[in-house]
Amino acid sequence: MSDLIRRTIPVLRWAPRYTRAALADDALAAVIVTIMLIPQSLAYALIAGMPPEAGLYASILPLVAYTIFGTSTALAVGPVAVISLMTAATVGDFAARGSADYASVALALAFLTGLLLIAMGALRLGFLANFLSHPIMSAFITASGVLIAAGQMKHILGVEAEGDTLIDIAASLAAHAPATRWPTLALGAAVIGFLVFARSGLKPLLLRAGLHDRPAAMIARAAPLFAVFASIGAVAALGLDAKGVAIVGDTPKGFPPLAAPPFDPGLWRALLAPALLIAVIGYVESVSVAQMLAAKRNERVDLDQELIGLGAANLAAGVSGGFPVTGGFARSVVNFDAGARTPAAGGFAAIGISLAALYLTPLLHDLPRATLAATIIVAVLALVDIRAMRRTLRYSRSDFAAMAATVAGVFLFGVEAGVVAGVVLSILFLLHRASRPHSAIVGQVPGTQHFRNVRRHDVITSPSVVSLRIDGDFFFANARFIEERILEAARDTPGARHVVLMCSAVNVVDMTALEALETVNTRLKDRGVAFHLSEVKGPVMDKLKRTHFLEALTGAVHLSEFDAMRALDPLTFEAPRSAGIAAQ
């Protein structure tokens, strides 16, 4: 029991061994991550359609929850672009942006996402992360990045525009383009230009100016925060808000409001499917980052416990004025590079954001929305990975097809349709592959006891015994194929009196496959052909013994393939290294 507790609450494992040195490293990383998180949190709240302070709230208690329940030493949890976009797409179906209902639906969505993640963790469904393939995840993030950037263009132009698909957004922007507010566009373009420069050119410039590597990198990373303050200064100095530049306006000051999300059974049922999608996507994104960083340090993340950790973070977001969160790529890499050594770094960052929520919000009054939009655009376009698509196109057509379906789905039908299209295609490819395992008619390699594929080796075969090897487990997805393949093998050798199924690669025979083997046995019997098995593994044999299959079997179960073939046609199959050489 205490083991279960220590596994479920990992903080109990590492906190007792927490050192002063780790504290110093974690605290420094937390400072850097906090500086990065403040503008990001505000911006991602904007993507999610939430008020800016909700972004800060979503970066406080969720971080504390992950510190207690998470297993990655470098993951930084909070609002991320793709999940914020999915949140907006979902919540927008239930309430108008900016309404009180909107915020409470977002709370319910976060809470439900948290419950689903924890349920998946309790059921040990961490393996589900495997079925979003890399190409699909990459295509999804790329397409979502483009969609998010397009959606933010209205703030840069200072116009109204809406839409959930790229076409709708583009049409709406084109229709409203004549109303462009030039001061807003000038400010937005300036911030974008500065941030793009800061991403690539600022650090080398600082290094050349004589700074050391670490401070130069830190300053470069603080560029978005600098842009925020510079824009606020510009608004105040130039009176830009009076010139039509939209600003954030009043933002409440203080700690996150603690309250249970609304419990409305109808709403919860309607939110179930989108919450599941957000849970799975968020989990896969987060776990991919966590595993990548863990591998660099030779650490491990516990896939099932990560579900609990992220689930707890989302529950926390759902009771403290936030919206769905997960582990973010960019901030986790920064956290890692800055030297975070334990999940405590996240807890310290939460303190930093709390201070921002307490003391910084009055300053945000004059923050232009165009600046936040510019931060978002530069951040998400960095996620766009065209190289991955080109690389996949060269390497694998089926993977590329799944990527193309995902991108097309996101652009034409919105973010949820895109990921569903990708996942469904992945599973179809998987089912298709699983339904046709590799199989081979085998014959004896002369002078040995080995039996190999007749198509690839020069082997001895018999006119009266045909043997088939099927490389893989026997189960519902391929049972029909196996049944047909065996009967076909018998049909193709008209003189065959015996069929031997070589089971050396079979670890499982499920009920559907067992019934298929029974059908094969009956069909072959009707034609006067005996059905044999060889090289059946122990656990499979134990299970077969619990059925009537072995009694009904017209042939026998042979220990080895050689034993089987030698017993059924001793004239054809020679014993190895015998004096005479048998006729082929």
Task: List interacting residues with a copy of itself (CB under 8 A).
Answer: 125, 127-135, 291-292, 295-296, 298, 391-392, 394-396, 398-399, 426-428, 430-436, 438, 471-473, 475-481, 487, 505, 507-508, 510-512, 514-515, 519, 523, 526-527, 543, 546-547
Question: Smallest distance from the beta carbon of 361 to a copy of itself, in angstroms?
Answer: 42
Q: Which residues contact 181 (CB under 8 A, 6 or more apart)?
A: 157, 158, 159, 244, 245
Q: Could you give the angle at which helices 265-296 and 303-318 cross, rounded to 10 degrees?
A: 130
The full DSSP string for 514-543 is HHHHHHHHHHHHHTT-EEEEES--HHHHHH
Query: Distance (Å, rounded) from C-alpha 119 to C-alpha 134?
Result: 25
Closest CA to 310 of 128, 132, 119, 141: 119
Q: Which is nearer to a copy of itself, 154 or 497 (CB)?
A: 497
CB of 486 to a copy of itself, least distance (A): 12
Minimum CB distance to a copy of itself smaller for 228 or for 389: 389
Q: Report the residue number, 205 or 434, with the smaller CB distance to a copy of itself.
A: 434
Measured in degrees and rounded to the nearest 5, phi and psi for residue 49 equal: 80, 15
Tell me the C-alpha to C-alpha distance, in Å, between residue 491 and each of 286, 297, 435, 479, 529. 52, 57, 21, 18, 10
Which of 199/543 has CB closer to a copy of itself? Answer: 543
Residue with smaller CB distance to a copy of itself, 118 or 372? 118
Minimal distance in Å, beta carbon 292 to a copy of itself? 8
Shortest separation between residue 88's beta carbon and a copy of itself, angstroms:
23
Q: Smallest distance, Å, CB 547 to a copy of itself?
A: 6
Cβ atoms within 10 A of the Cβ of 137, count?
21
How far, in Å, CA of 277 to CA of 416, rounded?
8
Q: Would you state the torsion angle of the CA atoms of residues 415, 103, 169, 141, taken in this order, to the nearest 10 degrees?
A: -30
Q: Please report how close the Cβ of residue 434 comes to a copy of itself at its closest, in angstroms.
A: 6
**Using CA atoms, how far apart are residues 504 and 532, in angstroms rounded to an integer?**
13
Residue written as tokens 């116009």?
159
Nearer to a copy of itself, 130 or 200 (CB): 130
**Do 116 and 311 touch, CB atoms closer than 8 A?**
yes
Query: CB-wise, 53 or 164, nearer to a copy of itself?
Result: 164
- For the CB of residue 285, give the shortest distance to a copy of itself in the complex, in Å: 14
Question: Hey, what are 565's tokens?
Answer: 């073939």
Least CB distance from residue 254 to a copy of itself, whole Å? 43
Closer CB to a copy of itself, 194 or 283, in the complex: 283
Alpha helices in 48-80 (DSSP H): 52-57, 61-69
